[in-house]
Amino acid sequence: MLVVKNLTKSFNSAGGEVHALKDVNMTINTGEFASIIGKSGSGKSTLLSMLGALDVPTSGSIQVDDIDIAKLSAAKQTAYRAKKIGFVFQHYNLIPNLTALENVMLALEFGGMPASKRKARAQELLTEVGLDEDEQLRKPTRLSGGQQQRVSIARALANKPAIVLADEPTGNLDSETGKKIFDLLHSLTRSENVTIIAVTHDMDIAGKTDRTFRLKDGQIVIEK
């Protein structure tokens, strides 16, 4: 279970203090698929980075299975990201110098899997997301956007995370491919009982999730 209480985040920028998140409260149950919608600049990515321990909140708490991740040391936060969180980004963010297989193996390395087991596990994951053997050995530049996003989903799921955080995972894909990727995420997480929190602009997609949060100026205005 994920419980967010009184979460605020402010940035000091040249034009003064920016309140990206203001007193956000939310609860998401384990295995739920939640979507976050809202206009550009409403604080969606900021919220996701707090949940993923990529940044620390200004105040408030984020309880993941009774551990407040906002209060963890930097080293513990890194370990939390490696083991408990899977990220899927709008721009895929695969390591360009590594093949699809090596990208997944990299996440497995950070997750602490012994080197001897990584390759088989990575192949299994990539096959699951629909990449054939030849594609698995290609570097990201030689894969389509949809294929790259599949690799990044395989990478996100590599260490059997508790939560998958996706920031506009279909934002760079055409609607048909986007739908396929969404369905893939949906089915994979259903079978593994993973909590998914996805930021999206696509109202079709948002409509199919278990929960939807709408952010406006750093505050949750509608919760479905």
Partner 1 sequence: MNVVSRGIKNALRSPMRSGAIVLMLAISIGLILSMLVARSSVNAKITEVKSSAGTSVTISPAGVHGFDGGGDPLTAAQITTIKDTAHVSSIVATLSDQLTTSDTSLTPSLELGLFGARQQRSSTDSTSSTDSNAAAPADSSSTETTTTRQAPTPKTTVTGTTDQNSVSTDGSDLVLSSGSSIDGSSSDLVALVGTSLATKNSLKVGSTFTAYDKTITVKGIFKTGNTFADSGLIMPLATVQTLTDQSGAVNSVIAKVDSSDNVSSTVTTLKSSLGDKADITSQVEQAAASVSSLESISSLALAGVVGATIAGSVIVLLAMVMIVRERRREIGVIKAIGGSNVKVIGQFVSEALTLTIIGAIVGLSLGIVVSGPMTSSLVSNQSSTATTQAGPGAGGPGRMFKGGMSQLSSNITQVTGSLTPQVFAAAVGITLIISIIGSAVPAWFIARIRPGEVLRTE
Ligand X SMILES: Nc1ncnc2c1ncn2[C@@H]1O[C@H](COP(=O)(O)OP(=O)(O)OP(=O)(O)O)[C@@H](O)[C@H]1O
Nearest to 196 by CA among 88, 91, 57: 88
**Interacting partner of 18 out of partner 1, ligand X, Mg ion, none (Cβ under 5 to 8 A depending on kind):** ligand X
**Interacting partner of 102 out of partner 1, ligand X, Mg ion, none (Cβ under 5 to 8 A depending on kind):** partner 1
Stretch 112-151: interaction string toward partner 1, x if CB under 8 A: ---x------------------------------------
Among 75, 114, 132, 134, binds partner 1 (CB under 8 A): 75
Among 7, 21, 35, 45, binds partner 1 (CB under 8 A): 45
- Per DSSP, helices labelled H in 89-202 are 100-110, 115-128, 133-136, 145-157, 175-192
100, amino acid identity: A
168 to each of 81, 106, 121, 160, 203, how far by Cα in Å?
A: 19, 23, 26, 21, 12
Rounded to the nearest 10°, the torsion over CA 220, 66, 28, 74 is: 60
Interaction between residue 89 and partner 1 (CB under 8 A): yes
Among 105, 151, 157, 163, binds partner 1 (CB under 8 A): 105
Interaction between residue 11 and ligand X (CB under 6 A): yes
Q: Kindly state the smallest distance separating residue 78's Cβ from partner 1, in Å.
A: 5
Interaction between residue 202 and partner 1 (CB under 8 A): no
Among 44, 118, 155, 214, binds ligand X (CB under 6 A): 44
Rounded to the nearest 10°, the torsion over CA 126, 131, 137, 139 is: -100
**Which residues make beta-bridge pairs with 62?**
4
**Which residues make beta-bridge pairs with 185?**
none
Rounded Cα–Cα distance for residues 190 and 131 (Å): 20
Strand, helix or coil at 133? helix
Interaction between residue 210 and partner 1 (CB under 8 A): no
Q: What residue is closest to Mg ion based on CB?
A: 45
Rounded Cα–Cα distance for residues 219 and 103 (Å): 36
Q: Which residues bind partner 1 (CB under 8 A)?
A: 45, 48-49, 52, 54-55, 75, 78-79, 81-83, 85, 87, 89-91, 93, 95-98, 102, 105-107, 109-111, 115, 155, 159, 167
Q: Which residues bind ligand X (CB under 6 A)?
A: 11, 13, 18, 20, 38, 40-46
